[in-house]
Amino acid sequence: MWDSGALCEGELLEVVWVLADGLQQTERSRPRWRERGIEAHYCGFLTRPCTWKRIGQHRESESRSKDLATFIPRMYLMCPKYLIVLGCCFLVPLLLVSSLLPAFTYALTDVQASLIAHHQLSSLPEGGDFPADFKVEVDPKLMFPHDGLKNAYYALQAWRKAIYSDPLNSTGNWVGVDVCSYNGVFCAPAIDDPTKTVVAGIDLNHADIAGYLPVELGLLTDLAIIHLNSNRFCGIIPKSFKRLKLLYELDVSNNRFVGPFPSVVPELATLKYLDLRYNEFEGELPRKLFEMKLDALFLNNNRFSSVIPINFGYSPVSVMVLANNKFSGCIPTSIGFMDKTLEEMILSNNDLGGCLTPEIGLLRNATVLDFSGNKFEGPLPKCFKGLWSVESLDVSHNNMTGVILNEICDLPKLKNLTITDNYFNGLAPNCETKKKQISLDETNNCIADMSKQKSSQECKPVVNKPIECSRDKCGGGSAQPNPTPQPPPRSVQPPPSPAKPLSSPPPPVFSPPPPPPPPVNSPPPPPPPPVASPPPPPPLASPPPPVNSPPPPVYSPPPPPPSPSPPPPSPVYSPPPPVQSPPPPSPIYSPPPPPPVVRSPPPPVPSPPPPVKEVVLPPNLGFRYSSPPPPMFPGY
């Protein structure tokens, strides 16, 4: 193959392609080639391979192209600035050359180079899959213990060809049939047949590799871990990944992937850890994403937009980070369904708005909640007193108003409360007395007799503006816990009321074990079904405004549900899905059982038994996700 090491990166140089003897141009050119450390040799036309030698390094590579028409565009694409002169003493070659001379006598323009590149890319299966009749064919002289390793060899060699730059030479030893000795490739006994060794993991984190993910990677069907963070991979995630039936962790963070959310991801049934942060993904999130059995979801620092899907709360994740995107609308009230598993949620720096839904107060296992840098308004819901485990609560840089209540400052595990840059106009007495126990940043608000606050001119227009969160188009955030509209749904679900207590962590048995202490888990199942029903679509179709108006009232009551006696969350949540436009909230307000005794259930959150090391997949797959967070970027 053409050795472009000296030519493509050097000065402008006339390259002579020798097709026959006796050309004076060739002889005149030889001295110039020698000055650059390169010697040109005779090549019979389409009969013998042409050899180019780099004298300085005594290396040679053969161009085995049997088709001149295919060879020339390739050479031009690699070295568009070099002049290629064709000569030949045969009639047929001369005719062929004469037809090509007009196009190749001058260096390619940027437009021409772009067209060639586009043509080559368009010939690839865009993130596609293998054809039905696809067969892996390798040199018959190569011997493999079984087809799995043969497929791995084929896939890794295809990937190596898809790498444009490997400055650390991370794939330098990707040669030979022993794929288990390749850098970054980890093998383990197959799950279905321990006597076979298979490729179970790939870890090329921080390798600074530039390239793309070829379709052939779908042949690595025993992969459990793919860690590629902090590289320069581009393009999209190929659809052939759907063949990776054992994939447990997928980390492609801090790369240059583009396009919509990878459509193949929801097809990865065994996936638990998904990290797509610091890329250029855009568009909306698919609803199927929140039906996956994920334990950790990192989508921050992309270009995702649109509203958050209404079934957002059905995800069993313990950690979810959607920060630094362009999400709009409100936080879906289904967030309350995450009470059993959610430990950390970060939604900062988006365009979310409306009132904070009271269902957030049901997240009794959450330790970190960050809603900063959005457009939330209204007060902090009183039902936030149900956040028994929260250690850090950040609502800074929003448009929130009202008073920070005692219930918030009295949270048993609260260490950091950040409310800076809002329009709060008061702190309850307990907040003042607990400043020594918690880190409270209340600067740049509208609190009288405190330093570093907004001016009265800036505060009045916002503070005096009435905000009725119970009628908020995004779903209530009212501080009043009593209003509990829609008794019908409640009556149906009171029996499973015990749902409130959230104890045993569900399926996820991962590093971030949910430490819910409460007792009963039975009710959880009922809630999901109702929401999954048709109602969700309506809300999606019509932006949150119309559909969500009813939910607000229904959810204001949920705050109290934390109390064990009244029918807890499950009842409250079922209503959200059904559109509540028909039932007027006001008439139903009187009947709601408002026992807001959230304190009754002791806040003790004894962590349940530590997760069992159950991951059978790759040996190095502990419950701690081995993928390090993408470096070099501030924030999450």
pLDDT in tens, 265-293: 999 999 999 999 999 999 999 999 999 99
For the entire predicted model, the pTM comes to 0.59
Mean pLDDT in residue range 185-205: 96
Apex CA 552: angle with CA 549 and CA 558, to 5°?
Answer: 160
Residue 281 DSSP SS3: strand
Mean pLDDT in residue range 2-22: 37
* Pick from 556, 599, 555: nearest CA to 387: 599
Mean pLDDT in residue range 85-89: 38
Residue 551 DSSP SS3: helix
Mean pLDDT in residue range 231-259: 96
Residues 6+ apart with CB under 8 A from 240: 128, 129, 130, 215, 216, 217, 218, 219, 264
| Residue 633 reports pLDDT greater than 60 | no
Using an 8 Å Cβ cutoff, are 236 and 147 in contact? no
Using an 8 Å Cβ cutoff, are 258 and 280 in contact? yes
Query: In whole angstroms, how large is the CA radius of gyration of the chain?
Result: 32
pLDDT of residue 384: 95
Task: Report d(CA 264, CA 79) in Å as an integer.
Answer: 36
Beta-bridge partners for 232: 210
Apex CA 220: angle with CA 219 and CA 221, to 5°?
Answer: 90
Task: Report d(CA 387, CA 147) in Å as an integer.
Answer: 53
111 band by pLDDT with thresholds 50, 70 and 90: low
Sign of CA dihedral 450, 454, 456, 460: negative
Encoding tokens for residue 456? 């009265």
From edge to edge, which strands make up the β-sheet containing 38-40? 38-40, 50-54, 59-63
pLDDT of residue 449: 87
Bigger pLDDT: 628 or 335? 335
pLDDT of residue 194: 94
Residues 6+ apart with CB under 8 A from 281: 257, 258, 259, 260, 261, 262, 299, 302, 303, 304
With b meaning 16 or more CB within 10 Å and e meaning fewer, what string describes 281-311?
bbeebbbebbbbebbbbbbbbbebebbbbbb
Bigger pLDDT: 497 or 419? 419
Q: What is the mean pLDDT of the chain?
A: 70
78 band by pLDDT with thresholds 50, 70 and 90: very low
Domains of the chain listed by start with CATH number: 14-122 (no CATH), 226-471 (3.80.10.10)
Mean pLDDT in residue range 438-451: 92
pLDDT of residue 115: 52
pLDDT of residue 138: 84
pLDDT of residue 435: 83
Mean pLDDT in residue range 303-328: 97
Using an 8 Å Cβ cutoff, are 94 and 86 in contact? no
| Residue 325 reports pLDDT greater than 50 | yes
Mean pLDDT in residue range 333-356: 97
